[in-house]
Amino acid sequence: MPACTLELKIIPNAPRNEVVGWLGSALKVKVHAPALEGRANDELLDFLAETLGLPRRNLTLLRGDKSRQKVVSITGLDEAGLRARLGF
C-alpha cells in the first residue's frame, strides 16, 4: 500500500479550515479549532482526510503534537497522488 509523510505548518483559530499552499517544503493549513487539548490536531486530521478523500484512520500525527510544525503519515496515497489531490 502506498504511503507518504507530509510536513505541515498549522495556523489555529482561523475563521475556517483551508489549505493555504506550500511554504517551502511544508504545507500551510489553517484550522478553525483552537490549540487547546488537542482539538486543533483532531480537526486538522479530519479536515485533511476529507480533503484528500481518505478515511481518517489513514492519517497519523507523527510529530508536533504541541507545535505548529507537524508531520503527518498518510497511508493509501503516494507523494504524487497527494500533490494531485491537493491541487498545489
**What value does the mean pLDDT take over residues 7-28?**
96
**What value does the mean pLDDT take over residues 43-61?**
97
Q: Is a pLDDT exceeding 90 seen at residue 87?
A: no
Q: How far is CA 60 from the centre of its chain?
A: 10
Q: Is a pLDDT exceeding 90 seen at residue 1?
A: no
Q: Is a pLDDT exceeding 90 seen at residue 30?
A: yes
pTM: 0.94
Q: Exposed, middle or buried, 8 (CB in 10 Å: 0-12/13-18/19+)?
A: buried
What's the CATH architecture for 3-86?
Answer: 2-Layer Sandwich (3.30)
